[in-house]
Structure 1
Amino acid sequence: MKYYIVDVFAQEKYNGNQLAVFVDAGSLTSHQMQRITKEINYSETTFITNNQSREGGYDVRIFTPAQELPFAGHPTLGTAYIIQQEIVKQPVEKVTLNLKVGQIPVSLHYSDNSVDLLWMQQKPPIFGQKFDKEAIAQVLNLPINDIDSNFPIQEVSTGLPIIIVPLKTLAAVKKAKVNLELYFELISNTEAKAILIFCPETYHQENNLNVRVFCDYFGVPEDPATGSANGCLAGYLANYAYFDADSIDIRVEQGYEIGRDSLLLLKAQKTNADIDVFVGGKVIMVAKGEFV
């Protein structure tokens, strides 16, 4: 089987979030997909199960080393890129993925006939339960005053639920360390199984937020660039007017603490009924190969 390795949300090779994409993988069982994903051992691996479009989209399954996911951000962008490059093989404005969460459209933008930027529109955010900051501070091994009490700690989902935690400073983000016993105790009673922490201080002045995402439940202690979680964050920021507005158009840095510098672009707009959420970034081809 042919497979491809790409770096998603990367400004250059060997940064961003690694993704392996298998094409024409419909003959594989779920068990085989899970074992292959564990063998590769990236945050996620995707399987395009049919190289022909169906109902306007391509059937794709997403796995972490621990389990299958209904939706994930960087696999969506990276897989759309491979579909355009290796299956469609011509410039198109949009590639749609048929995921377990439903159809997710990805728009492609070009420079000199090469894909320069990809954007996905995520599902409108659903806001779930809120959390006590003392309990979350203990999970993150942080003093309670590192948490920004002007905004809630809340479960948000645009396809995959995430616990959003606002912190005050970059120093607080950098020193956060998950207490695994308390983490697994917390998520035993929550729909969300991953935690996103963020702050308005950044490594680079041109960026607006710094983010880290912890997801041991999925077999990934820390993710270098998380499109799904940042989509939830985009909805959260617009809903609570974090930047004193009900819309955002920002740059988010992630992955610096684990040596995989990443850049995610977030847009969100609060409307009468919902919040429109878009997450964008670059995808860079790194390798091509075969599983034998």
Structure 2
Amino acid sequence: MSSRERAFAQVDVFSATPFLGNPVAVVLDADGLSDEAMARFARWTNLSETTFVLPPRAASADYRLRIFTPGGELPFAGHPTLGSAHAWLESGGEPGDPDVIVQECGAGLVQIRQTDAGLAFAAPATTRSGPLEPALLARVAAALGIGVDRVVAHGWVDNGPGWLAVQLSTAEEVLALDPDLSGVRDLMIGVVGAHPDGRFELRAFAPAIGVDEDPVTGSLNASVAQWLIGRGAAPSRYTASQGARVGREGTIAVTTDAASQVWVGGPSTTGIRGRVLI
């Protein structure tokens, strides 16, 4: 297929200050692109994720989204979901239901709604849970440069990308980590700890998809929120921060509705808008 111009945006997600969140590249008119063309473009943008907006297949969806990292395709990711919805709305997209956008992706249908904090997505259910095996926990602790005894809690929190999580006693401990990821190139590791004021600090190490540390991670925050709230380790509404060690200021708002659905949201700002030749 020959190249043509397609609408394009690059959106900064999870920061009220432009260029201090996590960027996502969004191709808004991706109909007809091959898998290889999408993968090649995602490698070229060299961002943690690049998305492609397509006509929906499900009757109840407003659009279909494919999400690529430089290393391959993901069934779901959080900040690309919010950034793509933001770009879709700015480009004239109109949801069938004015109160909710329905995104179709590899993980199924994801609801997105407007909140005081910005767009928020309904956290998908985790597909794998339960504690880490002792040998795996030891490998993760060694990669983080800490003893297993410093891990307050641990578990699988996978909602598509393959996340596992460990909780440390404090946010200060999380921020002090200087990991060696050479021995965990097959893993997706989230680390969380609490600030004295009740906020949580997260860091996301994703060597399995070629990203040593992700600035701000919607999918991880979504699954960690369910893990923390489900164990009574966090209230039903809280704020998390992420990205300080990589020069970002990500802010994530977590809320739980009356139906016990966890929502994860934050502000989005378009940094680049135009057309791309693919």
TM-score when scaled to structure 2? 0.88
Judge conservation of contact 1:34–1:65 (CA < 8 Å) in 2: yes
**SS in structure 1 opposite 2:184?**
helix
CA positional deviation for 1:124: 2.5
Q: 1:146 aligns with which of 144, 147, 150?
A: 150
Judge conservation of contact 2:169–2:193 (CA < 8 Å) in 1: yes
Residue 57 (str. 1) matches residue 62 (str. 2): yes
Partner of 2:252: 264
Partner of 2:267: 282
Which whole-Å CA distance do the structure 2 matches of 1:181 and 1:9 have between them?
29
Partner of 2:176: 175
**SS in structure 2 opposite 1:105?**
strand
Which whole-Å CA distance do the structure 2 matches of 1:79 and 1:52 have between them?
17
Q: 1:229 aligns with which of 220, 224, 235?
A: 220
Residue 239 (str. 1) matches residue 230 (str. 2): yes
Judge conservation of contact 2:128–2:159 (CA < 8 Å) in 1: no
Which whole-Å CA distance do the structure 2 matches of 1:27 and 1:76 have between them?
21
**SS in structure 2 opposite 1:291?**
strand
CA positional deviation for 1:141: 1.3
Judge conservation of contact 1:16–1:260 (CA < 8 Å) in 2: yes
Residue 37 (str. 1) matches residue 37 (str. 2): no
**SS in structure 1 opposite 2:87?**
helix
CA positional deviation for 1:135: 3.1
Alpha-carbon spacing, 1:52–1:99, altered in 2? closer, same or farther (3 Å): closer
Q: 2:80 aligns with which of 50, 70, 75?
A: 75
Partner of 1:158: 159
Amino acid at match of 1:200: A
**SS in structure 2 opposite 1:157?**
coil
**SS in structure 2 opposite 1:248?**
coil
Judge conservation of contact 1:84–1:92 (CA < 8 Å) in 2: no
Judge conservation of contact 1:84–1:95 (CA < 8 Å) in 2: no
Q: 1:248 aligns with which of 221, 236, 246?
A: 236
Which whole-Å CA distance do the structure 1 matches of 2:47 and 2:8 have between them?
14
Q: C-alpha root-mean-square deviation of aligned residues, in Å?
A: 2.4
Partner of 1:194: 188
Q: 1:108 aligns with which of 114, 118, 122?
A: 114
Which whole-Å CA distance do the structure 2 matches of 1:242 and 1:256 have between them?
23
Amino acid at match of 2:39: Q
Structure 1 stretches of 4+ with a deviation exceeding 6 A read none
CA positional deviation for 1:127: 4.5
Partner of 1:123: 124
Judge conservation of contact 2:56–2:104 (CA < 8 Å) in 1: no
Q: How many residues are paired up?
A: 268
Partner of 1:98: 104
Amino acid at match of 1:125: T
CA positional deviation for 1:140: 1.0
Judge conservation of contact 1:146–1:169 (CA < 8 Å) in 2: no
Which whole-Å CA distance do the structure 1 matches of 2:157 and 2:151 have between them?
18
Partner of 1:214: 205
CA positional deviation for 1:182: 2.2
Amino acid at match of 2:203: R
CA positional deviation for 1:51: 8.4
CA positional deviation for 1:144: 3.4
Identity %: 26
CA positional deviation for 1:126: 4.2
CA positional deviation for 1:129: 4.0
Q: Which residues of structure 2 form unaligned runs of 5+?
A: 1-5
**SS in structure 1 opposite 2:91?**
helix
CA positional deviation for 1:291: 1.7
Offset from partner CA, 1:25-52 (integer Å, 9 cap, x none): 1121111111111111111010002389
Which whole-Å CA distance do the structure 2 matches of 1:51 and 1:125 have between them?
24
CA positional deviation for 1:80: 0.9
Alpha-carbon spacing, 1:22–1:231, altered in 2? closer, same or farther (3 Å): same
Partner of 1:47: 52
Amino acid at match of 2:30: A
TM-score when scaled to structure 1? 0.84
